[in-house]
Amino acid sequence: MRQIDHVIAGGTAAASRFGDVYDPNAGTVQAKVALGDAAVLEAAVAAALKVQPGWAATNPQRRARVMFAFKALVEREIDSLARMLSAEHGKVVADARGDIQRGLEVIEYACGIPHALKGEYTQGAGPGIDVYSMRVPLGIGAGITPFNFPAMIPMWMFGVAVACGNAFILKPSERDPSVPVRLAELMREAGAPEGILQVVHGDAEMVNAILDHPAIAAVSFVGSSDIAHHVYRRGVAAGKRVQAMGGAKNHGIVMPDADLDQVVHDLAGAAFGSAGERCMALPVVVPVGEKTALALREKMIPAMRKLRIGVSSDPEADYGPVVNAAHKARVEGWIAKGVEEGAELVVDGRGFTLQGHEGGYFIGPSLFDHVTPAMESYKEEIFGPVLQIVRADGFEDALRLASDHQYGNGVAIFTRNGHAAREFAARVNVGMVGINVPIPVPVAYHTFGGWKRSAFGDTNQHGPEGVKFWTKVKTVTARWPDGSPDGGNAFVIPTMG
């Protein structure tokens, strides 16, 4: 059986624990991934410590050239990377390409790192005094990433961290680790010194070793909220800089004046694409007014019946299987819970099997109506192909639903009314807002981050916020005296008064 190993400068000793990597289309184990421990991490940290000072001292244009070369290599391999990703994750190949492409856009941003790292300068801040600041890399950064974007999210992190002059240790999801390994190999081929980007695999044991390691200055995490909170607390207690993005339950508000055909088209992709395993999926739709609710439901049902569920390599498929058997059972458990709580299950996706692939982790699309804010199945993230209709009486009601939910990653409003959209964007208590855009993932040169239980810490991913996260500021106040005596009182704090 294929074995997936850590990528550590100088290699590692044989692993004692392994995890199963499934083929979600077939429901079988396709590879074993080494699960590392503190000793494996120690080897990675030692290698990173050796090489990082030289990398930080390399001028930023040269570091940027490595990012340019990496981008070209990933583009060269994008088809095979997308197939590799799709085969472990279960998302369809075209969507896997999108996963890689959105990551590459952060690499494109990182190609401009010399500009992003330029500091500030004040000539003559006082008599003969100049002040300047510089952005300095932190040293060693680590990234802990989820299964659902095994290319994009690692690139959000290491793209910026490495370009800024840090060494980076990536702990990808143990469920689909092959693409992260290949990305690290390609970074090496692009000219990153060995040890600048390393990959350690593992589960909670490795994550906790990272959080406790004194030489790791900063940790970026993306995953579910309880684990994000744990990572945040433990990392901060160890004195690290931590950003920890968590789960989501994004709402799509449909105003009575929205173009319903467009909304249904957008919702089908945003709720069921990637089998709903996206933190920016739209699993909750909030029609405003009874008439909107009825019309939306009428149009949604046939659109769902048309969805094609297939193996992830099927170019005609809209979505593929979920990632593993445990996740399939969890999603189906939430559907059962919704029924038990009294929501109306309009379309039931349970029990779906794909002919010839009976062992695969496929789930048909499900639609609930009359979901209420008191239901557990509304409060929690389902992370599967399940759309819930929560009816709202008016705009304020809809705004309150999205604002009061424990998660605040993304939200969308569908309307033709500019004033309503503007009000909504200004007032909603959510980090990323779409106006007639169902999945408002910001472009790479802006930044990504939710609010409330969707993110712990205070800086977003990538873009200028990423540069801020992966660097610290040093400010220099310089005086070049001309030799004439300075009669000021040295015992009073200097002021510019």
Catalytic residues: 279
Cβ-proximal residues to 423 (8 Å cutoff; 6+ apart), any chain: 395
Task: Please choose, out of 119-127, 146-154, 331-339, 476-484, the segment that lies near ligand NAD by the rule CB under 6 A.
Answer: 146-154
> Contact with ligand NAD (CB under 6 A): which of 52, 148, 292, 459?
148
Q: Which is nearer to ligand NAD, 148 or 415 (CB)?
A: 148
Site residue total, ligand NAD (CB under 6 A) = 27
Tell me how far apart the alpha carbons of residues 200 and 36 are, in angstroms, rounded to a whole number. Answer: 7
State the minimum distance, in angstroms, from the CB of residue 301 to ligand NAD.
27
Tell me how far apart the alpha carbons of residues 33 and 176 are, in angstroms, rounded to a whole number. Answer: 9
Q: Does 248 bind ligand NAD (CB under 6 A)?
A: yes
Q: Does 52 bind ligand NAD (CB under 6 A)?
A: no
State the minimum distance, in angstroms, from the CB of residue 471 to ligand NAD.
21
Query: Do residues 338 and 368 make contact, with C-beta atoms less than 8 angstroms apart?
Result: yes
Task: Please choose, out of 16-24, 246-254, 303-311, 367-375, the segment that lies near ligand NAD by the rule CB under 6 A.
Answer: 246-254
Phi and psi (nearest 5°) for 484?
-75, 145
Tell me how far apart the alpha carbons of residues 348 and 384 are, in angstroms, rounded to a whole number. Answer: 13
Count how many Cα atoms sit within 13 Å of the Cα of residue 305 in the half-sphere of its side chain. Answer: 7
Q: Does 454 bind ligand NAD (CB under 6 A)?
A: yes
Q: Does 436 bind ligand NAD (CB under 6 A)?
A: no
Q: Which is nearer to ligand NAD, 146 or 289 (CB)?
A: 146
Q: Which is nearer to ligand NAD, 292 or 460 (CB)?
A: 460
* 121-126/129-137 β-pairing: antiparallel
State the minimum distance, in angstroms, from the CB of residue 8 to ligand NAD.
17
Q: At what angle do helices 178-189 and 152-163 cross, to 10 degrees?
A: 30
Alpha helix (H) ranges present in 320-417?
325-340, 376-379, 395-404
Tell me how far apart the alpha carbons of residues 247 and 249 are, in angstroms, rounded to a whole number. Answer: 7
Task: Please choose, out of 134-142, 143-151, 285-293, 392-400, the segment that lies near ligand NAD by the rule CB under 6 A.
Answer: 143-151
Tell me how far apart the alpha carbons of residues 51 and 398 are, in angstroms, rounded to a whole number. Answer: 53
> Contact with ligand NAD (CB under 6 A): which of 145, 243, 388, 471?
145
Type of residue numbered 264: V
Cβ-proximal residues to 185 (8 Å cutoff; 6+ apart), any chain: 7
Task: Please choose, out of 10-18, 219-227, 291-299, 468-476, the segment that lies near ligand NAD by the rule CB under 6 A.
Answer: 219-227
Of residues 156-215, those binding ligand NAD (CB under 6 A): 171, 173-174, 203-204, 207
Type of residue numbered 411: V
State the minimum distance, in angstroms, from the CB of residue 73 to ligand NAD.
25
Task: Please choose, out of 73-81, 144-152, 298-306, 330-338, the segment that lies near ligand NAD by the rule CB under 6 A.
Answer: 144-152
State the minimum distance, in angstroms, from the CB of residue 497 to ligand NAD.
47
Question: Which residue, chain included where needed, has tokens 């396709």?
Answer: 30
Q: Does 247 bind ligand NAD (CB under 6 A)?
A: yes
Q: Which of 76, 102, 73 is nearest to 192 (CA)?
A: 73
* 129-137/218-222 β-pairing: unpaired
> Contact with ligand NAD (CB under 6 A): which of 245, 275, 322, 401?
245
Q: Which is nearer to ligand NAD, 228 or 413 (CB)?
A: 228
- Token pair, residue 59, equals 């001028």
Q: Does 409 bind ligand NAD (CB under 6 A)?
A: yes
Task: Please choose, out of 217-225, 422-430, 434-442, 471-479, the segment that lies near ligand NAD by the rule CB under 6 A.
Answer: 217-225
Q: Does 227 bind ligand NAD (CB under 6 A)?
A: yes
> Contact with ligand NAD (CB under 6 A): which of 289, 365, 434, 450?
450
Residue number closest to ligand NAD, CB atom: 223
- Helix or strand (DSSP H, E) at 167: strand 167-171
Q: Which is nearer to ligand NAD, 391 or 452 (CB)?
A: 452
Tell me how far apart the alpha carbons of residues 353 and 122 are, in angstroms, rounded to a whole number. Answer: 67
- Token pair, residue 123, equals 């000539």
Phi and psi (nearest 5°) for 72?
-65, -40
Q: Which of 190, 201, 133, 135 is nearest to 159 (CA)?
A: 190
Q: Which residues bind ligand NAD (CB under 6 A)?
A: 144-149, 171, 173-174, 203-204, 207, 222-224, 227, 230, 245-248, 279, 381, 383, 409, 450, 454
